[in-house]
Amino acid sequence: MLAQHFNTEWCPEFAREYLHTHGKAYDFDDLLIIAKGQIALEEKYSDLVKDKTELLFIDTDMYVMKVWNEYVFGKCHQFILDEIVERKYDLYLFCNIDLPWVQDELREYPDEGPRTELYHIYKDLLLNQKVPWVEISGDYDQRLNTAIKAVNSIIE
C-alpha cells in the first residue's frame, strides 16, 4: 500500500493540551486561543513536511473550530472564519459516528442526538467546500483500509 511507504507526521491537537492545562470549563475567548494555538502547531508541523514523500495528518482544523464556536456559543470568531479561507488542504477523512462513543476526560456529547446533529453539520460543511473528502465508516479495519485508499488516490 503506497501510503504506508511515506513518512508521516501527526500534528497534535492544541485543544487537548490547552484544556488539560486550563481545565474543562472554557469560554468563547478560550476558543480563539485554542484556534491560534492549533494554527501555530499546524505551521510548525507543516515545516517538517518538505517533499512529496512526507504526509501531514491534522486532526483539528478551523472548520472544527467554527463548528465548536457556533455549536456551543452560537457565534464564531472572525479570525477562524478568515483562516478557513486562507488554509489549504488536500483531503478530508470524515469519520462517521457508527462506532460506539468512548469516554474520554475531555470528550463532550456522548448522547446520540448531539452526535448525529454534529455529524450532519460537519457533512454539510464538507459538501459545500472544494477539498476532496471521503467518509470513513465501518469497523476499525474497514476504516483504516478506506483511509489508506483515499490517501493513495491523492498521492499517486
Q: How many CB atoms lie within 10 A of CB 63?
A: 20
H-helix segments, the chain: 14-22, 28-48, 62-73, 78-86, 112-127, 140-155
pLDDT at 146: 97
The helix-helix angle for 112-127 and 62-73 (nearest 10°) equals: 130
- Say what the pTM is: 0.86
Nearest Cα residue to 153 out of 133, 124, 130, 125: 133
Question: How far apart (Å, rounded) are the C-alpha atoms in residues 60 and 57?
Answer: 9
3-state secondary structure of 92: strand
pLDDT tens for 124-156 read 999 999 999 999 999 999 999 999 999 999 887
Read off the pLDDT of residues 117-126 as tens digits, 9 standing for 90 and up.
999 999 999 9
- State the chain's mean pLDDT as an integer: 88
Bridge partners (DSSP) listed for residue 134: 93
Q: How far apart are the first and last CA of the chain?
A: 11
**Nine-digit cell at 58?**
491534522
Lowest mean pLDDT among 7-11, 19-23, 36-40: 7-11
pLDDT the model gives residue 109:
74
pLDDT confidence of 111, banded at 50, 70, 90?
Answer: confident
Band (pLDDT 50/70/90 cuts) for residue 7 is: low
Residue 36's pLDDT is 95
Q: Residue 54's pLDDT is what?
A: 80
Ramachandran region, residue 30 (left: φ > 0; alpha: ψ -120 to 50; beta: rest) = alpha
Q: Residue 79 in contact with residue 89, Cβ under 8 Å?
A: no
Q: Do 9 and 48 contact (CB within 8 A), yes or no? A: yes
How confident is residue 9, by pLDDT bands cut at 50, 70 and 90?
low
- Interval 58-80 mean pLDDT: 95
Domains of the chain and any CATH numbers: 2-155 (3.40.50.300)
Q: Is-contact 32 69, C-beta < 8 A?
A: no
Q: Which of 59, 57, 35, 61 is nearest to 46 (CA)?
A: 57
